[in-house]
Amino acid sequence: MIDPEMPILVVDDYATMVKIIRNLLKQIGYDKVDSASNGAEALEMARAKAYGLIISDWNMTPMTGFDLLRAIRVSGPNESTPFLMVTAESKTENVVAARRAGVSSYIVKPFNAAMLRSRIEQVLAPADAA
């Protein structure tokens, strides 16, 4: 069973996208959502608090979502937290690099609540249920 009370961290440098993802999460039952406007800010938050899921954009400055993923996977309370990468482009080399770095899944913009729910369920499912 997926916990609707779990804290989620949404990272995107585009404030409108953060609002969209927050609204989609709310539609599917998640209310405990923190947000960061770049990877560096998110990394500080992720070092201070354990999250049930991290949803991050790939293209941001000064720290990309890919760099955030690699930094989080090294150590800390979220090193094994499911990480959903959001991107407008799905270049094969990026997907391969992100998989090697430990991304849980990808979602390509634009997406809707049903697509987001499906991807969240996929990354949060127990290993034996997959």
125 backbone dihedrals φ, ψ, rounded to 5°: -65, 140
97-129 tens-digit pLDDT = 999 999 999 998 889 999 999 999 999 986 555
Burial of 118 (0-12, 13-18, 19+ CB in 10 A): middle
| CB neighbour burial string for 40-49, b if at least 16 within 10 angstroms, e if fewer | bbbbebbeee
19-70 tens-digit pLDDT = 999 999 999 999 999 999 999 999 999 999 999 999 999 999 999 999 999 9
The residue behind tokens 């953060």 is 18
Residues in contact with 45: Cβ distance below 8 Å, sequence separation at least 6, in sequence order? 9, 34, 36
Q: Is 51:60 a contact under the CB 8 Å cutoff?
A: no
Quick one: pLDDT at residue 128? 52
Quick one: pLDDT at residue 48? 96
pTM of the model: 0.93
Q: Which domains does the chain have, with CATH numbers?
A: 8-124 (3.40.50.2300)
**Residue spans of beta strands (DSSP E) within the chain:** 8-11, 33-36, 53-57, 83-87, 105-108
